[in-house]
Amino acid sequence: MKYGITFFPEKKVQDLINSYRKRYDPHYAWIPPHITLKEAFDLQDDELPQAIEHLERVSQEVAPFPITLTKVSSFYPTNNVIYIALEQEDSIRRLHEKINSGMLHHESAYKFIPHITLGQKMLEDELHDVYGSLRMRRFELESNIDRFHLLYQLDNNTWSIYQTFLLRGN
């Protein structure tokens, strides 16, 4: 089965992000606005208990922390994706590294850039128009990361929460 690990920001942040995603992201209906902490990966049923144990350990080692999303950017020309980036990345980068260790370590095709997608799969001209418009806007979106979620993908490509892990470190 295919799994992923994400953080969902607070509702007020999701609502604003969704006002863009419903226009510019064809995956809008598949998953709420999120920060991917571990990209999609496959696990066999017999590996799941060990993965959950690993994620429980991570959640006990990491304390909750705030994030601020401020700057619109793009992965163009690698991918036609527009996103809003985190202002400070140290805490979320450490969480990402802990999650992606041990049995869940996999080499990624891309460098970890914590972000929330605003739009994707756009034609090049549309991407440039939307990006040009959005980068003029100043965002000051704040949220607290106090949990992360192990998700699984359903047959219709939507994602559902399998288990939530509360951050309990000091």
122 pLDDT higher than 90:
yes
Q: Which domains does the chain have, with CATH numbers?
A: 2-166 (3.90.1140.10)
Please state the pTM of the whole predicted model: 0.94
Q: Which tens digits make up the pLDDT trace of 2-29?
A: 999 999 999 999 999 999 999 999 999 9
Q: Which tens digits make up the pLDDT trace of 23-35?
A: 999 999 999 999 9
**pLDDT of the residue at 89:** 83
**pLDDT of the residue at 53:** 98
**pLDDT of the residue at 9:** 97
- Active-site annotation, residues: 34, 115
Cα 78–Cα 43–Cα 151 angle in degrees, nearest 5: 70
Considering only CA atoms, which of 159, 21, 15, 16 is closest in space to residue 82? Answer: 21
